[in-house]
C-alpha cells in the first residue's frame, strides 16, 4: 500500500468544479490583484475566525512582516519567539530590523513556555510572537499575562492554526494580531501563495492595508514606504471555495488523529503521540510523534511506501543565518530534543482509515523487529 505524506490532488477532486468556475470568473472580469474577490475573502475569513478585521496579503511571511511593522516594531527592538518553528517566524522579525530573541518551549504542546519568557525580557523587548505549532494552540492566557505586565504586543504566528480552538474559541479571536498562511500545504491553502492578518484593531488594519500596497492611502497618495504584498484575485477566489470546506476537513483530520492515538498509544516505550490538553482543540495541521531511532524509522516507512517528514530538523537558533546572534547548542534543551525526535506522519482529510491502520502496523512492526 502507498501512503504519501501529503496528497493535494485528492483534495482537488472534491472541489474541482467550483475551483474551475472561480478561475473562469476571475479571468472573465480581468482584475487580477485585489478587488472584489479579495474583499469577499477578507470578510469571509474574518467572520470564520471571529475577528473584526482581516487584511489579505501574498504570503504568511508577508503577513508576519507587516503585522510587526504595523505595531511599530523596528530597528533596535527585540521580539521574543520560539526556536522550534518554520524559519519565517524569526525571519520576519529580522526584516523589520528588530532582533529575534528565543525562549524555550513546553514539552507537551511545543508552544513557547511563558515561564521562560520573563528571563528573556530586556528594556528593548517590544513584542512576543508565539507560534501555534502544528495546529496546537500556544498558551495564550499565560503569554498575555506576561505581555500585559510589561506592555508588550502579542502577535500570533497562526500560519498553521486555521480553525484551532483555544478554550473553545478560534485562534484569531483573542484581541491580538494573528498571522495566517495559505501556502498550498497548509490546512487552508491556496493554489499558489497567500496569507492574511486578522486583528481587532481598526488602526492596525488600516495601516496594514496601506503597507501591503506601497503605503498608499488612495491611488497615487503615498503616506509612507510600503510594499507590494497584495493578494491575487485568483487565490482569493480559490480560498473562498476552500474556506467553505475547512470545518469538514478539520473534522476529518481530528478523526484521523484519534485513530492514530488509538493505534499507537500502546507503543509508549518508543513513541510519544500527541495528547490534547483540555485547553485546546488542534486542527492537526501536522501529526507529529516523538520517537526513538527516528532516522531508521523514516527509512523503514519509506521502504514500505509511507511518506513522512521532519518538522523541523534544525531549530532556528542553530541555523547558520542566525550565527551572529551567538546562540549555542544546549541553550534550549526542550526545543533541541524535539528537533531530534519528532516525526510527522501522513495527515490530510482524504486519508483512508485503511491507510492509517497500515502506517500504524508498520510502526509496530519496526519497533518489534528492532527491539523485541
Ligand atoms: C508556513 C509558515 C509561515 C510562512 O508562511 P508562507 O505563506 O509560506 O510565507 C510562517 N510561520 C509558520 C509557523 C509557518 O508554518
The rounded Å distance from CA 327 to ligand 1 centre is 23
Residue 44's H or E segment, with its range, is helix 36-49
Q: What is the pLDDT of residues 52-102, one digit of tens each?
A: 999 999 999 999 999 999 999 999 999 999 999 999 999 999 999 999 999
Determine the distance from the C-alpha atom of residue 111 to the mean position of all C-alpha atoms in its chain, rounded to a whole number. 12
Residue 84 Cβ < 6 Å to ligand 1: no
Per-residue model confidence (pLDDT) at position 33: 78
Residue 157 Cβ < 6 Å to ligand 1: yes
- Per residue in 230-244, is it b (16+ CB within 10 Å) or e — as a string? bbbbbbbbbbbbbbe
Determine the atom of ligand 1 nearest the C-alpha atom of 181: 7
The rounded Å distance from CA 159 to ligand 1 centre is 5
Per-residue model confidence (pLDDT) at position 31: 79
pLDDT band at 119 (very low <50, low <70, confident <90, very high): very high
Of 279, 256, 284, 282, the residue nearest 355 (C-alpha): 256
pLDDT at 372 over 90: no
CA distance 313 to 341: 9
The rounded Å distance from CA 267 to ligand 1 centre is 32
Determine the atom of ligand 1 nearest the C-alpha atom of 193: 7
Q: What is the pLDDT of residues 186-229, one digit of tens each?
A: 999 999 999 999 999 999 999 999 999 999 999 999 999 999 99
CATH topology of domain 8-103+110-243: 3.40.640
Three-state SS for 321? helix
The rounded Å distance from CA 99 to ligand 1 centre is 19
Per-residue model confidence (pLDDT) at position 126: 98
- Per residue in 287-296, is it b (16+ CB within 10 Å) or e — as a string? bbbbbeebee
Residue 195 Cβ < 6 Å to ligand 1: yes
Q: What's the pTM value of the predicted model, to 2 decimals?
A: 0.97
Per-residue model confidence (pLDDT) at position 100: 98
Per-residue model confidence (pLDDT) at position 339: 97
Beta bridge mates, 306: 3
Per-residue model confidence (pLDDT) at position 37: 95
pLDDT at 30 over 90: no
Per-residue model confidence (pLDDT) at position 34: 78
Average pLDDT over residues 259-288: 96
Domain 246-371 has CATH 3.90.1150.10: yes
E strand map for 130-278:
153-157, 165-166, 169-170, 177-181, 195-199, 216-218, 221-222, 271-272
Which residue CA neighbors atom 2 of ligand 1 most closely? 159
CA distance 204 to 219: 20
The residue whose CB lies within 8 Å of the most ligand 1 atoms, and thus the one to mutate among 56, 65, 88, is: 88
Structural domain boundaries in the chain? 8-103+110-243, 246-371
Please calculate the CA angle 64-347-47 and round it to the nearest 5 degrees.
45
CA distance 22 to 183: 19
CA distance 135 to 279: 13
Of 280, 227, 235, 283, the residue nearest 68 (C-alpha): 227
Per-residue model confidence (pLDDT) at position 300: 97
Query: What are the phi and psi torsion angles at 79 (to 5°)?
Result: -125, 125
Three-state SS for 292? coil
Calculate helix-pair angle for 202-211, 60-70, nearest 10 degrees. Answer: 120
Residue 296: DSSP 8-state: H
The rounded Å distance from CA 170 to ligand 1 centre is 19
- Tracing cell 528571563 back to the chain, one arrives at 119
Q: What is the pLDDT of residues 213-225, one digit of tens each?
A: 999 999 999 999 9
pLDDT at 265 over 90: yes
The residue whose CB lies within 8 Å of the most ligand 1 atoms, and thus the one to mutate among 82, 160, 179, 212, is: 160
Per-residue model confidence (pLDDT) at position 342: 97
pLDDT at 32 over 80: no
The rounded Å distance from CA 88 to ligand 1 centre is 6
pLDDT band at 35 (very low <50, low <70, confident <90, very high): confident
- Give the chain's mean pLDDT: 96
Determine the distance from the C-alpha atom of residue 35 to the mean position of all C-alpha atoms in its chain, rounded to a whole number. 26
Sheet holding 153-157, edge to edge: 53-57, 195-199, 177-181, 153-157, 125-129, 78-81, 99-102
Per-residue model confidence (pLDDT) at position 175: 85
Positive or negative CA dihedral for 261, 264, 267, 269? negative
The rounded Å distance from CA 295 to ligand 1 centre is 25
Amino acid at each position: 500500500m502507498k501512503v504519501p505524506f501529503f496528497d493535494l490532488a485528492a483534495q482537488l477532486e472534491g472541489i474541482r468544479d467550483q475551483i474551475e468556475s472561480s478561475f473562469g470568473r476571475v479571468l472573465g472580469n480581468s482584475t487580477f490583484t485585489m478587488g472584489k474577490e479579495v474583499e469577499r475573502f477578507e470578510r469571509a475569513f474574518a467572520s470564520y475566525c471571529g475577528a473584526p478585521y482581516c487584511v489579505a496579503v501574498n504570503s504568511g511571511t508577508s503577513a508576519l512582516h507587516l503585522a510587526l511593522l504595523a505595531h511599530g516594531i523596528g530597528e533596535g527592538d527585540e521580539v521574543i519567539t520560539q526556536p522550534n518553528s518554520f524559519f519565517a517566524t524569526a525571519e520576519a522579525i529580522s526584516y523589520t530590523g528588530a532582533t529575534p530573541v528565543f525562549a524555550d518551549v513546553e514539552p507537551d504542546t511545543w508552544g513557547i513556555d511563558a515561564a521562560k519568557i520573563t528571563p528573556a525580557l530586556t528594556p528593548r523587548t517590544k513584542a512576543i510572537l508565539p507560534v501555534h505549532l502544528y495546529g496546537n494552540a500556544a498558551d495564550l492566557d499565560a503569554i498575555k499575562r506576561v505581555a500585559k505586565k510589561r506592555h508588550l504586543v502579542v502577535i500570533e504566528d497562526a500560519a498553521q492554526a486555521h480553525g484551532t480552538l483555544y478554550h473553545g474559541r478560534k485562534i484569531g479571536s483573542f484581541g491580538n494580531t494573528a498571522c495566517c498562511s495559505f501556502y498550498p500545504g497548509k490546512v487552508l491553502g491556496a493554489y499558489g501563495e497567500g496569507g492574511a492578518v486578522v486583528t481587532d484593531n481598526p488602526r492596525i488594519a488600516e495601516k496594514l492595508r496601506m503597507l501591503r500596497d506601497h503605503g498608499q492611502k488612495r491611488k497615487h497618495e503615498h503616506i509612507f514606504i510600503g510594499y507590494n504584498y497584495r493578494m491575487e484575485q485568483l487565490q482569493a477566489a480559490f480560498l473562498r471555495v476552500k474556506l467553505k470546506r475547512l470545518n469538514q476537513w478539520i473534522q476529518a483530520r481530528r478523526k484521523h488523529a484519534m485513530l492514530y492515538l488509538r493505534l499507537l498509544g500502546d507503543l509508549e516505550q518508543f513513541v510519544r503521540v500527541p495528547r490534547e490538553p483540555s485547553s485546546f482543540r488542534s486542527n492537526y495541521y501536522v501529526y507529529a510523534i516523538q520517537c526513538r531511532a527516528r532516522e531508521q524509522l523514516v527509512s523503514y516507512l519509506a521502504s514500505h511506501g509511507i511518506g513522512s517528514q521532519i518538522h523541523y530538523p534544525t531549530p532556528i537558533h542553530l541555523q547558520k543565518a542566525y550565527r551572529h546572534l551567538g546562540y549555542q547548542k544546549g541553550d534550549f534543551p526542550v526545543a533541541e530534543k524535539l528537533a531530534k525526535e519528532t516525526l510527522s506522519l501522513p495527515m490530510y482529510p482524504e486519508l483512508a482509515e485503511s491507510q492509517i491502520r497500515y502506517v500504524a502496523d508498520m510502526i509496530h512492526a519496526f519497533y518489534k523487529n528492532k527491539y523485541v
